[in-house]
Structure 1
């Protein structure tokens, strides 16, 4: 009987955690289950060399 109570406790804790994460997702804080992943190929990219080159030019100005 104790094992059944332990499984029920684990089930309710996981269920509560899932509901909490879905609530946070609806507020925009996390991506949990219902938000699909963003395509990384659609994201804008910037080369590291160009970022470093721009910042080094600005710092050398008198």
Structure 2
């Protein structure tokens, strides 16, 4: 009988967490189940070479 109560408690906790995350998603805080993934090909990208480039090659700017 204790195992049945434990499984019901786990199911209740999971259901409550799902409903909480859906509420937070409706307010725009998280992406849970109802929003699709962003299209990463439309996102701006940075080339790895430009991130790892040595800044010593850039000319010095004096003000």
Q: Normalized against structure 2, the TM-score is what?
A: 0.76
Larger proportion of helix: 1
**C-alpha distance in structure 2 between counterparts of 1:61 and 1:15, whole Å:** 59
The number of residue pairs the alignment matches comes to: 59
Q: Normalized against structure 1, the TM-score is what?
A: 0.77
Shift of 1:24: 0.5
Post-superposition CA distance 1:7-48 (Å, at most 9, x none):
000000000000000000001010000000011111122335
RMSD of aligned residue pairs (Cα, Å): 2.3
Q: Which runs of 5+ in 1 are unaligned?
A: none
Task: Give the structure 2 partner of residue 47 of structure 1.
Answer: 47
Give the ranges of 4+ consecutive aligned residues of structure 1 lying more than 3 Å apart after TM superposition: none
